[in-house]
Amino acid sequence: MAVWIAYAALAGYQLISGAQQAEATREHAKLTKDINDLNADYVEQDAFQAEADGATEEARYQSQIDEVIGDQKVALASQNVDINFGTAKELQTETRITGFLNQLDIRNQAAAKARGLKTQARNIRLQGSQIEAQGNMNANAIQSASMLNAASSSISGYSNYQDRLDKLKTPKTGAG
C-alpha cells in the first residue's frame, strides 16, 4: 500500500510541477511580448521624431532658399538690374525650383526613415506575438507531458501494487 501511495504522490508532484513550469513559461512569453511592445513603442516614437525632424529641416531649408533669393535680389538691384524680368527673374525661378526639389528630397528622406522605423516596430511587435504564441504552445506541451507522466506513474504504481497483491494471494508451495 505504501508503494501505491508513493506512486500517487509522485504523480501529484508531476502534475503540480508541470503546471508550475507551464505557468512560468507562459509568464516568460508574456513578459517578452510586453518588452517587445515597449521597444516597438520607442521605435514608433523615433519614426514620429524622424518625420518631425524632416519637417523642421525642410522649413529651415526654406528659410535658406528665401535668404539666397533675397541676396540675389539685393545684388541684382544694386547693379540697377530689374529683378522682375529676364535673366534676373530666371535666376530667382531656378533658385526656387532647385530649393523646392531639395526640400522634396529632405521630405522623402525623412518619410523613408520613418517608414523603415514603422516597419521595424511592426516586426518587433510581430516577433513578440510569435514568442508569446510559442510560449503558450510550449506551456501546453509541458502540461500535457506532466499529465502523461503522472498517468504513467499512477499506472506503474497500480501495476506494481497489483503484482504485490497477486504474490501475496498466491499460495506458496514448498517441498518439505
pLDDT of residue 6: 78
Residues of the chain falling short of pLDDT 70: 1, 3-4, 172-176
pTM of the model: 0.71
pLDDT of residue 63: 95
- DSSP for 81-138? --TTSHHHHHHHHHHHHHHHHHHHHHHHHHHHHHHHHHHHHHHHHHHHHHHHHHHHHH
Closest CA to 65 of 88, 99, 90, 91: 99
- Ordered by where they begin, the domains of the chain are 2-168 (1.10.287)
Identity of residue 133: A
pLDDT of residue 4: 65
Reported as type and span, the H/E element at residue 164 is helix 86-169
% of the chain with per-residue pLDDT over 90: 68
C-alpha cell at 11: 504523480
**52 touches 117 (CB < 8 A):** no
pLDDT of residue 95: 96
